[in-house]
Structure 1
Amino acid sequence: MIVFDLQCLDGGETFEAWFSSNAAYEEQRAGGLVHCPVCSSANIAKAPMAPRVPRKGADPLARLAAMQSEMLRDSRWVGDKFAETARAMHSGEIKSEQVHGNATLEQARSLVDEGVPVAPLPLPVVPPSQVN
């Protein structure tokens, strides 16, 4: 299947249509079978469009997810106790280790203001208790 952006030459509307090939589009257009969905005109032409070429290599989001997963491999989930845990580690009350969890924006700002080293994760994390 191929997707074309088409334009009605009478009304100016641009719309998307699917065809099995370029030849099928040309054949259907020549036969008056391609119509504008707004005004029903058959005076249709291909509109300029950017090619949809997939990127080489892995999907950038998949790569980011894999990197985040690797970063968290040796990290312990502390859930909603993240701010409390990070603060306690920073002050020396508990042993320092790599942890991740949830924090409100207010909690995160407070930690930063106190000099506690924290960073947001680029992607959401599913708590271990919710993983299938």
Structure 2
Amino acid sequence: MIRFSLACEREHEFEGWFKSNAGFDQQVAVGGIECPFCGSSQIRKALMAPAIAKRTRRDDQDAPPTSSGAATSLPSPTSAPPAAQLAAAVHLVRALHKHIEANLENVGERFAEEARRIHYGEAEERGIYGQASHSDVEALVDEGIAVKLIPPLPEFDS
């Protein structure tokens, strides 16, 4: 995997992981990469310093050999810089919102009422989303109705 520093047309910077340079080029060509801050699909590689892994004596002893003799591993998400963690989280929340909007019905402020109607067989079973107060959500959960809270999209200055 290759990690690239990326930037959108508005100069928001974030990271992306790709199988290869060609993989990045293919995804950019089809608009498959979006800025996690503003949603732009006009993405380019940003200037970045090369990452050089330090090897310890223990790495030499414990790591399985690869074709080049070097050990490789992916960093854990918590080892990424805070800005990269935020960008990754925003990207995931943005993708979640897009999936929900594309696949579920927005019932707006009638969410609690419609969830009950579906649960009790009074309305067609389907995926819905909308708004509900915390007390409505608690009441739905108490009635045994499955409810998932979706984090809002953060707003950023462009």
Q: What TM-score do the two structures reach when normalised by structure 2? A: 0.41
Bigger radius of gyration among the two: 1
TM-score (norm 1): 0.48
